[in-house]
Structure 1
């Protein structure tokens, strides 16, 4: 069983998937699986995924809806079928640094096993492909913090890397009203990592600007 399930939701963005795949193929750890959640694409996504699977030395699970059903339903199905202890997102216009999986594994396993149930997962800063942190904040190092304190006390907002325990995500499926991102849906405590890998590169697509995601709150 892999430690990490990396989830990439996509809809008619097949041309972006090879870049994601290349960043995963460059990982220094292979303790992961890649789950592609296809929200009813009408482009060449199925053929592109088939070719990537043939060239891959890590497992790829392709989930495809026969029509457009929305990101929340695709994410929930992918989480239901994920085998990893932790599930992380790498969107179709994003990349992961080569040591991201290794560092994520080390960070999670540095938490004493008897304390891990108190943590939702790990949050980290993201950067553009030029290395510019997308949404910096005044602080550094490692912090254990609740999501409410992160937003209300530390005033940390914007796009961030998010990984969570798969069992927690299954226990709190995303409602259909969440159309963008998922960071604050599950409660309890989260362990937050700052200015260290794993950082996720935000793709610039045609604009050169980092992508943005909205946080959902409960």
Structure 2
């Protein structure tokens, strides 16, 4: 895969055209957390952005409350609701498909942005705008419990694949990406994300032929972990977990050799999940294309079956298969009555100061 490349050099011109920015958020029973995110969006020092929110079939009053919120940016706020719960991936995909910006920033409903976050995206965008080999910008994140950045720093201008980061810099286990819209719409398309629950899968697939660039900026967001229903705090196994893990294993490259035991456990877990979800230890193989990962999985099948019989059964969930064509025609739930707009500075920001 891609080697680590030394930081880029050279200064940008005096003025740069700002990208249009779409912030995409999937919500699910987010009433207790959405004010935190909305407040941070309302306090952005760059106001020219749109907020696209897709609710993943919440069972609380999240949607009704979102209808009442003022748009945090001058680009407006749009709200959609899926006809069933997708586990998050399809809600994000729908938001990305609806986004109109040149840059797409995906933010969880229980996180919050730093005030200069979107301005940082805009001011770094010229570094990747015309480089077809780059899929997006990478920013650090902060743990609010310790008020410190997660993991050791990467030099601004560093290019990397997600596989390199996952296997060579495991201390940086999370971050924020500002993605080029054309790449985001391809790899986060609803047809792809219907099966996905782990965003590492499309990001790893994206960086098979493109890289990400470390932005010359501070952290983008606080990474909150106080939501008991989040994927981090509430581990569930589903058909989407089987697909996501299978894709990650199928995308294995030379960087994976840096952590062989991690990927041994990964493969055994995938066999177990196939057993529990599909009652077939070989089911995940249909999601894999390459011969070597398939062979590795086949060799480990007896051990995986044994661990599924002896180990504790995971919590299983089932997500309905939602009709993709209908998602493209979902109505904007804020379009009528008229959307409330925030009292923000609407001065022209076509150029950087």
Q: Please, what TM-score do these two structures have when normalized by structure 1? A: 0.83
Of 127, 132, 136, which residue of structure 1 is paired with 2:148? 132
Deviation at 1:4, TM superposition (A): 1.2
Residue equivalent to 1:192: 214
Instruction: Kindly indicate whether the alpha-carbon contact (under 8 Å) linking 2:51 and 2:72 is maintained by their aligned counterparts in 1.
Output: no
Quickly say closer, same or farther: Cα 1:124–1:56, change in 2 above 3 A.
closer
Deviation at 1:184, TM superposition (A): 2.4
Gaps (5+ residues) in structure 2?
1-17, 236-240, 252-353
**Mapping of residues 1-218 of structure 1, within 5 Å:** 3-53=20-70, 56-58=72-74, 59-111=76-128, 113-115=129-131, 117-129=132-144, 130-134=146-150, 136-137=151-152, 139-155=154-170, 157-172=172-187, 173=189, 174-182=192-200, 183-187=203-207, 188-193=210-215, 196-205=217-226, 217=248, 218=251
Tell me the distance in 2 between the aligned counterparts of 1:167 and 1:57. Answer: 22
Q: Which has the larger radius of gyration?
A: 2
Quickly say closer, same or farther: Cα 1:137–1:22, change in 2 above 3 A.
same
Deviation at 1:155, TM superposition (A): 4.3
Number of equivalent positions: 210
3-state SS, counterpart of residue 122 of structure 1 = strand
Determine which structure has the larger helix proportion and give its number. 2
Instruction: Kindly indicate whether the alpha-carbon contact (under 8 Å) linking 1:99 and 1:198 is maintained by their aligned counterparts in 2.
Output: no
Tell me the distance in 2 between the aligned counterparts of 1:171 and 1:64. Answer: 22
CA RMSD after TM alignment = 2.8
Determine which structure has the larger strand proportion and give its number. 1
Instruction: Kindly indicate whether the alpha-carbon contact (under 8 Å) linking 2:22 and 2:52 is maintained by their aligned counterparts in 1.
Output: yes
Quickly say closer, same or farther: Cα 1:138–1:171, change in 2 above 3 A.
closer
Instruction: Kindly indicate whether the alpha-carbon contact (under 8 Å) linking 2:22 and 2:99 is maintained by their aligned counterparts in 1.
Output: yes
3-state SS, counterpart of residue 88 of structure 1 = strand
Gaps (5+ residues) in structure 1?
none
Tell me the distance in 1 between the aligned counterparts of 2:222 and 2:26. Answer: 16
Deviation at 1:57, TM superposition (A): 4.9
Quickly say closer, same or farther: Cα 1:114–1:88, change in 2 above 3 A.
closer
The CA deviation string for residues 34-62 of structure 1, in whole angstroms up to 9 with x for no partner, is 11110001111122111113x64531111
Instruction: Kindly indicate whether the alpha-carbon contact (under 8 Å) linking 1:2 and 1:33 is maintained by their aligned counterparts in 2.
Output: no
Tell me the distance in 2 between the aligned counterparts of 1:139 and 1:69. Answer: 34
